[in-house]
Structure 1
Amino acid sequence: MEGFVCHMRKGFVVEMGENVAVSRWRLHDAVVGLCMLALVLIIIAKLEQSAVTDIVGPFHVVDGDTLSADGNRFRLLDVDAPELGQRCTGDSRIYDCGNAARDGLAGMLDGADWVCAASGQDKYGRLLVRCKSGETDLAEELVRQGLVVADGGYLAAQAEARGDQRGIWGGTFDMPSDWRRARQLEEMEPTDGFLTYVVERIGTWWGK
């Protein structure tokens, strides 16, 4: 009887050991599988990133921080422009600083070959871009001229514009994000043509 009990115990220990070994292998396989999945996702992300080539114009200006070309929209990184129809004051007058930002951006695009590099997308599906002509950064120049505000970068350029009272810094204005928040608006995404005109006119009437 004692030998039988010992045999049962031995069999139980062997079986338990086999189950532990099986569990360990399953855990090992699961970890390896997760690692392989993570590696595949990293490779896919790298391929998608490398698939985005430099974007060359001609560009169309949508608003003070958004461009379009070939039916695609591009949002300049690290800046925020006044919205079309947003009112600012300067030189003892009230003016549409959203229009001023858009016109300033259009002027900068003329006479220079800009190349934009994409880095992801925003919630509107626009490619986030940084555009340069030689060593000149387009968004940084917009900030330096006081046409847009820095939003995560270009703080030195903004300090320069503010110190010299350029653009919006020469008067009073609401930060674009505060202006949108006060009107319970998300960032506007105007379309070309008629709808852009409608957005501008609504903003003008609202600001009166």
Structure 2
Amino acid sequence: MARLFSLIRDGTIALAFLVLVALIAAKLNDRPDIQHQGAFRAVDGDSLVLDGERMRLKGIDAPELTQTCERAGQEWPCGRLAQHTLQQLVSDDDTQCGGSERDRYDRLLVICRSRAGDINAHMVAGGMAVSYGGYRREEEQARVQKLGLWAGRFEMPRDVRDQARHENSGLQRLIGKWTGWE
């Protein structure tokens, strides 16, 4: 009988300990949103700066700033146009962006809102960005309506970045061979 009591007591203590650890972990993960308000500066089609804080729009991926796209057989500066579009959306003093996560470059991942609504959604719905873990419905609408990027041919922004990284690493290897710094 004493052995059964001891087993129940030890099991109860172990369960209580696990519940306590789970509650502590949940509290640590419950970071409050960092909120910013003002007239933001668009660095590119999915990145912003305000008062030195670098932010990236969560759930979307816009063309790289120097990226070009094709429409009706003509090249157009889709990266610059995405930046311009975002700048128009975030230039009001009442624009609010908030988030609690950071990306690998230490940029705050944010969802931005203004009088026009969800800015991240507007970028995708207008065809100036693609869905990147969110906004799939808006992307499908832009694709069906052939808006922005979807009016012609374009490379996915992540593919452009990967290609640039690959080209840069090849150049770095070549310079390393020439200089003996391999």
C-alpha separation in 1, matches of 2:3 and 2:92: 74
- Paired amino acid for 1:177: R
Aligned length: 166
Describe how 1:1-208 pairs up with structure 2 within 5 A: 21-22=5-6, 24-46=8-30, 48-49=31-32, 52-111=33-92, 113-134=94-115, 136-184=117-165
Deviations 1:118-177 (A, max 9, x none): 142222222221111136110111112221112233233323322333222222111112
Q: 1:33 to 1:134 in 2, by over 3 A?
A: same
When structure 1 is superposed on structure 2, of 60-69 and 115-124 the one drifting more is: 115-124
| Alpha-carbon separation, structure 1, partners of 2:92 and 2:13 | 60
The Cα RMSD (Å) is: 2.5
Which stretches in structure 2 are left out of the alignment for 5+ residues? 167-182
- Taking a change above 3 Å as real, the CA distance of residues 19 and 156 of structure 1, as seen in their structure-2 partners, is closer
TM-aligned CA distance change 1:60 to 1:27, over 3 Å: same
CA-to-aligned-CA distance 1:24-65 (integer Å, 9 cap, x gap): 53443233222112212222333x22xx35321221212111
Local SS of the residue matching 1:67: strand
Query: SS of 1:124's equivalent?
Result: coil
Q: For 2:123 and 2:65, locate their aligned partners in 1 and report how far apart those are by CA, in whole Å.
A: 16
Q: Distance in 1 between matches of 2:149 and 2:52?
A: 31
Q: Partners of 2:92 and 2:3 in 1: how far apart?
A: 74
Please, which runs of 5 or more residues in structure 1 have no aligned partner? 1-16, 186-208
Conserved in 2, the CA contact under 8 Å of 1:112 and 1:133?
no
Alignment deviations for residues 184-203 of structure 1 (CA, whole Å, 9 cap, x no partner):
46xxxxxxxxxxxxxxxxxx
Q: State the TM-score, normalizing by the size of structure 1.
A: 0.67
Match for 1:138: what amino acid? Answer: I
Task: Report if aligned partners of 1:90, 1:172 keep a CA contact under 8 Å in 2.
Answer: yes
Greater alpha carbon shift after TM alignment, 63-72 vs 23-32: 23-32
